Amino acid sequence: MTYEWLTPTPAERVRWDVDVLYGPWPRHHRDTDLAEVRERLARSPVERALALSTRGALFDAESGNAQTLRELADCPELLPVGTVDLRDAWGAQERIKGLHAAGVRFLRLFTVEQGAEPGFPGYRHVVDAALARGMVLLQDGDPRRFGPALAGRGARVIFLDLHTYLLGDFLLLARHEPGFMATTRLLSAPDSVERVVAAVGAGRLVFGSRTPFTDISPQTLRLRYARIGAADRDAIAGGNVEGLLEMLELPS
């Protein structure tokens, strides 16, 4: 079921979504182009998003990044995210250098699609290059596997696939890693958001929907009805991303 929104209430409003893609996707029943994704967002309570073309993850990082930068230049509500091919770590350093020069400060790592493990030399090389330029990592996969590889390095990381069942291990990591954050997308248990807020603070959560492959509405409703204070909800719905943008000296 797809929900239609009218004017969102303050409790429903989401200023930033950090997990938006457009283009083909292997596990989705059809391709969704940029125009359709923008239309979906316009009908939702989400106001702005970090986004990129899936071409960079699935086919070619260089042309995919170029496509993202070119097409999102005309989309004021979307902030471009870059990516690299972890199977070509040697060339990834130049990709990261070019992205940084173009003003991109978020790097999304597709370890699942590209078969990369946290102990692979190529993965470590890419992370080193990104962190050396102060970029924020959008990290897919199991945070129990990738978190320890990123710990102790002052990394700013948003884990995109934190599931409720993995929450205990994430909290153990996050209490020692101030730069570790995660999206609310898979925190489906009735008290998952509340547990994070109580244990390490609302500053560790951001909204991420994985539009268009997941419906936005149930996630906005989960955040709306979470038993947390208004200030904590506001931080998760956009304030934490705005803090990152300010740190990165990007317009929010």
Reference 108, options 143, 146, 56, 70; nearest CA is 56
| C-alpha distances in Å from residue 14, one per residue of 114, 189, 215, 238 | 31, 20, 14, 6
Q: Which residues of the chain have a pLDDT value below 70?
A: 1-8
Looking at residue 1, its pLDDT comes to 47
Residues 24-39 have pLDDT tens digits of 888 777 789 999 999 9
Residues 127-153 have pLDDT tens digits of 999 999 999 999 999 999 999 999 999
pTM over cut 0.85 = yes
Domain residue extents for the chain: 14-247
Q: What CATH topology corresponds to 14-247? A: TIM Barrel (3.20.20)
